[in-house]
C-alpha cells in the first residue's frame, strides 16, 4: 500500500476501500460518534451530502485500530 493511502483526505469510496468496510459501517461510526467532525471527516467546498465528505484516512485508521474496530 502506498504512503498516500495512509495519509490525507480521501473520498467515502476510497475510505471504504482502504479500511475494507462498507459505506453503512463508515457512516455508522460517524453517526455514533466514533469518528469526529474535524479530525476524522470534514466538508470541503464541493461537499453536497454525506456521501461527499472527505475522510482523514490516517486519523480514521488510527482511531478505529485503537477501538479494535479494524485490524489494518
Non-local (6+) Cβ contacts of 1 within 8 A are 18
| pLDDT recorded at residue 50 | 83
Non-local (6+) Cβ contacts of 51 within 8 A are 12
Interval 12-39: pLDDT, tens: 999 999 999 999 999 999 999 999 999 9
If you average pLDDT over residues 62-72, what whole number do you get? 91
Amino acid at each position: 500500500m502506498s504512503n498516500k493511502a495512509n495519509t490525507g483526505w480521501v473520498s467515502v469510496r476510497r475510505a471504504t476501500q482502504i479500511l475494507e468496510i462498507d459505506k453503512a459501517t463508515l457512516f455508522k461510526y460517524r453517526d455514533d460518534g466514533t469518528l469526529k467532525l474535524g479530525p476524522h471527516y470534514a466538508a470541503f467546498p464541493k461537499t453536497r451530502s454525506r456521501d461527499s465528505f472527505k475522510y482523514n484516512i490516517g486519523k480514521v485508521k488510527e482511531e478505529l485500530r485503537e477501538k479494535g474496530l479494524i485490524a489494518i
